[in-house]
Amino acid sequence: MPSVPGVTDNSEMTSFPPQWDDGTTADSAEHQVHWYDERTVIIRQALRTNFEGPFIYLLLGSERALLLDTGTGHADLRKVVDELLDGRDLELVVAHTHGHGDHVGGDNQFATPGSEGKEGKRRIRVVGKSAEEVAEYFGISAWPDEVVEFDLGDRVLDVVPIPGHHPSHLAFYDRSTQLLLTGDSLYPGRLYVFDWPAYRASIARLAAFVAAGKPVRLVLGTHIEMSQEPGVDFGFGSDRHPGEHQLQLAPEALTELAEALEQAGDTPRRIVRDDFIVFPLSPAGEPL
């Protein structure tokens, strides 16, 4: 979907591709680029470049663009983003859902200014990866309990700290599209939990935030690891996902996750549901 000037909310004109690059095509592009609407781009790094196959989001406002995650670094994301922003006089903010390597690996590609714009070289700001750096940039004074606004220019996001998978993990709620971007904390796959108490508390807070008056159209995470068969995932390290689950989850998935974690109690345990698997790990990454 081509983008048009201005900031009109075109959230009704939304789409997903018939199929994401599932790793079964050897000569696929390094990134699959899809315009969800005229101000929202979803990018998938090809599984052939790295088995993580992370999803990356580019959100456009009238003053700045927000790039959420930079992938593993095994593919040229900078070229893709430069082409998408060509001709737009927007500052680029490179932030992250969290600081794991498959989401920050391409950060160094954005260490230099962007292409020429109306005001010269594009301004690029790469946000740090630690909870302290993230809190400082977004102005979160009471981590992880405070929710703050981040304005891209006529497009306001709510930034919600949700540590548990990673200490600096964030969720982003886009008021214009009603998309809830949940990173590695909720997606169709294995939800790796390194800090069980923090994760339970974070998902409970996120569910409460939504229930308090933030209508969610869809939940979008950053991987697909589930197959179309309910409760069945692809093996760890698989770089081919024939018949994979769709990316988008219904908003009820968040409620389902929050309720499952509440029922599980204080003792970490694996929880298998149709669309996701809660997968607790030790701090060293060993399954519990």
Whole-prediction pTM value? 0.93
Tell me the per-residue pLDDT of 23-34, one tens digit each, with 9 for 90 and over.
Answer: 998 889 999 999
Q: Domains in the chain and their CATH numbers? A: 31-280 (3.60.15.10)
> Strand runs (DSSP E) across 61-169, as ranges?
64-68, 91-95, 116-117, 120-121, 124-126, 148-151, 156-161
Tell me the per-residue pLDDT of 144-155, one tens digit each, with 9 for 90 and over.
Answer: 999 999 999 999
Q: Is 34 exposed, middle or buried (0-12, 13-18, 19+ CB in 10 A)?
A: middle
156: left (phi over 0), alpha (psi -120 to 50) or beta: beta
Percent residues over pLDDT 90 in the chain: 88
Q: Specify whether the CB–CB gap between 58 and 66 falls below 8 A.
A: yes
State which H helix or E strand residue 55 sits in.
strand 55-60
Reported as a pLDDT band with limits 50, 70 and 90, residue 284 is confident
State which H helix or E strand residue 8 sits in.
none
Residue for token pair 């997968």: 279
